[in-house]
Structure 1
Amino acid sequence: MNQVQCRMARAALGWGVLDLSKEARVSTQTIVRFERGEALKQSTVDQIRTALEAAGIEFIPENGGGPGVRLSRNQN
Structure 2
Amino acid sequence: MSDSAQVTGRQIAAARALTGMDQATLAQRSKISVQTLRRMEAAEGAPNGYANNIFAVIAALVSAGVIFIDENGEGPGVRLKKRPLAVAEITEKIEALDQTIATLNVEGEPSPETGMNQLRKALAKNQRTKLKNRRAMKSAKPK
- Establish whether TM, by shorter chain, passes 0.5: yes
TM-score, normalised to structure 1, is: 0.90
Q: State whether residues 69 and 78 of structure 2, in contact with CA within 8 Å, keep that contact through their aligned partners in structure 1.
A: yes
Task: Mark the structure with the bigger radius of gyration.
Answer: 2
Q: Under a length normalisation based on structure 2, what TM-score does the superposition of the two structures give?
A: 0.50
1:22 and 2:28 correspond: yes
CA-atom RMSD in angstroms: 1.5
Amino acid paired to 1:43: N
Maintained 8 Å contact 1:3/1:36: yes
Aligned pair in 2 of structure 1 residues 75, 57: CA closer, same or farther (>3 Å)? Answer: farther
How many residue pairs get matched? 76
Structure 1: 4+ residue segments shifted above 6 A:
none
Aligned-pair CA distance for 1:74: 3.0
Give the whole-Å Cα distance in 2 for the aligned partners of 1:75 and 1:23.
23
Are residue 47 (structure 1) and residue 56 (structure 2) matched?
yes
Structure 2 unaligned spans of 5+? 1-6, 86-143
Query: Is there any run of 5+ residues in structure 1 with no aligned partner, and where?
Result: none
Distance 2:48 2:78 in 1: 20
Query: Could you tell me the percent identity over the aligned residues?
Result: 34
Q: Of residues 41, 59, 73 in structure 2, which corresponds to 1:35?
A: 41
Residue 70 of structure 1: SS of its match in structure 2?
A: strand
**Which fold has the larger relative contact order, with Cα–Cα distance below 8 Å and residues 6 or more apart in sequence?**
1
More helix by share: 2
User: Residues 75 and 20 from structure 1, CA distance in 2 versus in 1: closer, same or farther, beyond 3 angstroms?
Assistant: farther
Identify the range of structure 1 (47-56 vs 35-44) with the bigger mean alpha-carbon deviation.
35-44
Q: Report Cα offsets for 1:45-73 as digits up to 9, x if no partner.
A: 11100000000000000011100000012
